[in-house]
Amino acid sequence: MGGAVEHEIVFLDRESVGADVRKANFPHKYTEYQSTWTSEDIAERLKDATIAIINKVPMREEVLKQLPKLKLIAVAATGTDVVDKAYCKANGISVVNIRGYAFNTVPEHVIALMFALRRNLFAYVEDTRNGRWAEVDQFCFFDHPIRDIAGSTMGIVGFGAIGKAVAKRAECLGMKILPFDAFPQEGLVDLETVLKESDVITLHCPLTPETENMIGAKELKMMKPTSILINTARGGLVDEAALAEALKAGTIAGAGFDVLTKEPPKDGNILLDLKMPNFILTPHVAWASREAMQILADQLIDNIEAFVGGNPQNVVE
């Protein structure tokens, strides 16, 4: 596709990227919407678009078949589970994503959750605010167990670029690493070993039919009662009802999640009802440091320019 061809670019959920998005270097019309939710709005707003920019807007067959002019879906994220890639491949619509932007921000969020949970920070802060410290007769109180990071074991489910970046930081803290991945590579262990032997388990795999609810009641019961589960990948990797029950029953010691099965949780979610200091839920912001978002925004336009220039990059098959 030559650079002289005029394109229409439509960004459907601009509010999801808190960074400057530069103008593409070829003739085009550009329109952005802060958010787009319904199938009707998606189809209407993209009816003349050749390039769609999305983050979490679902692009399913029912919508895509109404968009004969669409040539490219540029996803402003790494995960592309919101896109019907099979339909796109069969109908000549390219899909590109963002890579390599979250090597600092996601691992730092994982480490933050790990420290907060292993040291029971939220429980102690809550108790202190409620006057517990003033009630004791010595200089401190030990109502919640505090466990060291150094000398503990981290299981990493999904040992790709992000998983390896987490491992690098964990090793610097004196942790032993047990990596698991569906793709063979040196040093991996099986998932059962990760579940049984880890003090901290962190998930870094994509959401696919094979990984959906990969952590359920059975897997949670295999974990140590002193272990914690961290998920900054996709909410659908974990059976949320089983997790809620495991936390209530003390099957595991805690969990830190940045994701839910449906986002935003406008219809509620069982995990939102947990009022427990050993469960931390953040609103899908592990990826969202200012630095990471600017890298993402720059690469987003790089991907679009490369496609229009005839040398597509970061293509998702």
SS3 assignment for 219-263: HHHHCCCCCEEEECCCHHHECHHHHHHHHHHCCCCEEEECCCCCC
pLDDT of 241 reads 98
In total, the chain counts a number of residues equal to: 317
**What number does CATH give the domain 7-101+291-308?**
3.40.50.720
pTM of model > 0.95 = no
Maximum Cα–Cα distance for the chain, whole Å? 78
Using only C-alpha atoms, what is the Rg of the chain?
22
Helices (H), the chain: 39-45, 61-64, 85-90, 105-118, 121-129, 132-135, 161-172, 191-197, 217-222, 240-249, 290-308
pLDDT of 3 reads 45
User: Distance (Å, rounded) from C-alpha 236 to C-alpha 281?
Assistant: 15
pLDDT of 1 reads 44
- Residues of the chain with pLDDT below 50 are 1-3
pLDDT of 316 reads 97
pLDDT of 2 reads 45
pLDDT in tens, 56-112: 999 999 999 999 999 999 999 998 999 999 999 999 999 999 999 999 999 999 999
Name the residue ranges covered by the structural domains of the chain.
Answer: 7-101+291-308, 105-281
pLDDT of 5 reads 61
pLDDT of 6 reads 86
Active site residues: 234, 263, 284
**What number does CATH give the domain 105-281?**
3.40.50.720
- Residue 10 token pair: 């439509």
User: Distance (Å, rounded) from C-alpha 94 to C-alpha 150?
Assistant: 46
What residues contact residue 186 under an 8 Å CB cut-off, 6+ apart?
none
